Amino acid sequence: MKTAEGKKTRNTKHQKAVLDLLKNATKALTADEIREKFADNINKTTVYRMLDRFVEAGKIHFVTGQNGKSFYALCKSCKEDPPKHIHNHLHFQCEICGKVECLPETVKVPQLDDYEIRETQLLLIGTCKRCINTTN
């Protein structure tokens, strides 16, 4: 794997496992949720470093949830290596169950004179379908 600057990074068994976990996840995950999936008690700092490297390399993206926590998801639409686009799709956080998920809808990010946009944080907050159906 390479970072955005083209630096090589090691691929460890934990890195592969984290990427596989995110690939198969049905929602965005926090670092704590990722760490809890490992039976061998991976160090919390190691998880954060890995996630930071994956974000820097463009392999995953994150959105900051309503509670201030970062939620991570695999960049499933990235075709370039490293990716050269801004993640402009919407994210949704349910106020009841807390689930954060990537939505297929996108927002056009404007080109602004005298500004270089590196990332977007697009979070919608409300009630998910499952929770709506449970409360009715």
* CATH of residue 64: 1.10.10.10
Whole-number mean pLDDT of the chain?
84
In which domain, by residue range, is 107 found? 13-135
- Give the C-alpha separation, 90 to 87, whole Å: 9
Structure tokens belonging to residue 38: 């490992």
Query: Does the residue 3 lie in any domain?
Result: no
The count of structural domains within the chain is 1
CA nearest 97: which of 70, 62, 134?
134
Q: What is the pTM of this model?
A: 0.76
| Separation between Cα atoms, residue 131 and residue 136, nearest integer Å | 9
Mean pLDDT, to the nearest integer, of 96-103? Answer: 92
Residue 116 placed within a domain: yes
pLDDT value for 53: 92
Rounded to a whole number, what is the distance in angstroms from the first to the last CA of the chain? 47
pLDDT at residue 109, rounded to an integer: 86
Is 35 within a domain?
yes
